Amino acid sequence: MIPTVRSRTGARMPLLGLGTWMMGEKARRRADEVAALRLGFDLGLTLVDTAEMYAGGGAEEIVGEAIAGRRDEVFLVSKVLPQNAAYQGVLRACEGSLRRLRTDHLDVYLLHWPSRHPLEETIRAFTHLVEAGKTRFWGVSNFDVEDIDEALRVAGARAIACNQVDYHLKERAIEHAVIPWCERHEVAVVAYSPFGSGDFPTPRSHGGTVLQEIGSAHGATPRQVALAFLIRRPSVFAIPKASEIAHVMEDAGAEAVSLTAEDLRRIDEAFPLGSRPHDLPMI
């Protein structure tokens, strides 16, 4: 079973969860996607992330089917689009997500990325949703330090549950400032696309060889080694995509991989941090 940690919110969440980006797009895949999510729950991957944007709400419908009869087992996260982030827009969007998810509440509701709407309006709506019992907590996604500083100024200390950001071996930009900021302010970091959205190191590349060698020493796969590296800090969670049974089973095994200091050094050398970018990457 996947280890859980107590977040600053007080909720216990698994270090590894299930992402749903690009799910719900093909009707013929629906049964397989629902089965993959349910298997993930069985294996302890009970943090499930979705968004109104994914397949125009189709991913939320897949999740709604998967959690039917199991809602109490799941830590459920969804996101509002920036164009819907005005006060009334957030409230309407949340109701739509709850309807598609077939539930009366979320565990965390996120702003998908910074919006043109005043952040004060968005946070006021999030606060209303918490008070109304529609979500337990709220957070942000794709926020760089300047953005999340502004959110902290508006909301006050200990209000932001998490910041969900792009993070994988070839994209470590958040290690420069975002992760340290979140650790200082007790904001969880949730890594999406932890395998790089189709850009995972090939077996014949230098980095791929390093992952393979480390994996062989631990009886693990390169994907499991990569996940273990990303969640090496207690502030970081990861939500690999969960559309295939085989990948869900493989991802769940990553928690058993205990990397040594030498392993971490080799991975760090194979996938260097690089300089801090001007803009935080997002997809």
Q: Which one from 54, 109, 167, 192 is the annotated catalytic residue?
A: 54
pLDDT of 198: 87
Helix-helix angle 58-66:30-42, to 10 degrees: 50
Residue 275 phi, psi dihedral angles, 5° rounding: -80, 160
Q: Residues 147-153: what's their mean pLDDT?
A: 97
- Closest by alpha carbon to 227, among 277, 182, 269, 192? 192
Mean pLDDT of 128-133: 98
| pLDDT score of 200 more than 80 | yes
Band of pLDDT at residue 274, cut at 50, 70 and 90: confident
Report whether pLDDT(108) > 90.
yes
* Residue 20 and residue 244 in contact, taking contact as beta carbons nearer than 8 Å: no
Based on its alpha-carbon atoms, the radius of gyration of the chain, rounded to whole angstroms, reads: 18
Provide the mean pLDDT of the chain: 94
Question: Among all chains, which residue has been given the structure tokens 């910074």?
Answer: 114
Q: What is the pLDDT of residues 225-254, one digit of tens each?
A: 999 999 999 889 999 998 999 999 999 999
Q: What pTM did the predictor assign?
A: 0.95
54 catalytic residue (yes or no): yes
pLDDT per residue as tens digits for the range 14-31 = 889 999 999 999 999 999
State how far the Cα of 7 lies from the Cα of 42, in Å rounded to an integer. 22
Structure confidence at residue 275 as a pLDDT band (50, 70, 90): confident
188 is written with which tokens?
């969880």
pLDDT above 90: residue 212: yes
Q: Report, as an integer, the average pLDDT of 211-221.
A: 98
Query: Are 41 and 47 contacting, i.e. CB atoms less than 8 angstroms apart?
Result: no
Q: Are 115 and 82 in contact (CB under 8 A)?
A: yes
Tokens of 47: 């943090």
Q: What confidence score (pLDDT) does residue 281 get?
A: 65
